[in-house]
Amino acid sequence: MELKPIKVNLDDYPTTLRPYLEDANLYDSSCSADAKVLFSDKDEGYYIKISQAGTLQTEAMMTNYFHSLDLSPKVLEYLSIDKDFLVTNKVIGNDCIHPKYLEQPEKLCDTLAESLRLLHSMSYSNCPVKNRTANYLDTAQKNYIAGVCDKTLLRQCGFKSPDEAWDFVKTNRSLLKTDTLAHGDYCLPNVILYNWKLSGLIDVGFGGVSDRHVDIFWGIWSLYHNLKTNAFANRFIDAYGRTLVDDEVLRLIASIEIFG
């Protein structure tokens, strides 16, 4: 995770957040246009995520739940005023795009798959998002209607048009299950390792009870994206457990993500 030193005006932040920012070196660690993320090196470290009002409520809720399973940082503050502010402590370790992990891609692939299998074995009895699958499909349908389309993924899936891809989704959507505690955005920057052991999961706003193949798809995609090769797809599936993976459902997930 890249950290860029920045200066901020404390008057721009709610008073309850200033103790996390005062007398600290501050860095911009944002990796998305949808939210700004600050890192404060005060104490053991804090992350302050800032986004449009109301957009971080589910993430705060799911982070709390994952924290109860010892899988995520603790939510220290969540404020929703003119903007949303989410403060968490720093998880010990480094994310999976750290050079020391990328330099050992085979070990990284296996560790990611095994960590995902661990997550998917967890109980979801008290999960606050009971049917992420429905949310997932609803979002894709709204985006399809709005004309959102990843043309690169469309071609990779072998579809000639968005309509053809959406017909495939409609025909096969019943294959999706809602039986697994999922991260929802299982990418290398969102997985924190410490000495090659899972230390925590971050950015869990798309998490909930869902279909395991959503996380499997993103794990494979993220290895491809960060290692610039698709050579680890089969290795990831083998390390996760091939008998648990349905290739047709993976293609369905890819088709849904066309309308991400």
* 26-28/36-40 β-pairing: antiparallel
185 catalytic, yes or no?
yes
3-state helix, strand, coil in the chain (%, to 5): 45, 20, 35
Kindly give, in sequence order, each residue whose CB lies less than 8 Å from that of residue 150, ignoring residues fewer than 6 positions away. Answer: 257, 258, 259, 260
- CA-CA distance, 59 to 203, in Å (whole number)? 7
Taking residue 170's Cβ as centre, other Cβ atoms within 10 Å add up to 12
Which of 84, 95, 110, 185 is labelled catalytic? Answer: 185
- Give phi and psi for 28, each to the nearest 5: -90, 120
Q: What are the catalytic residues?
A: 185
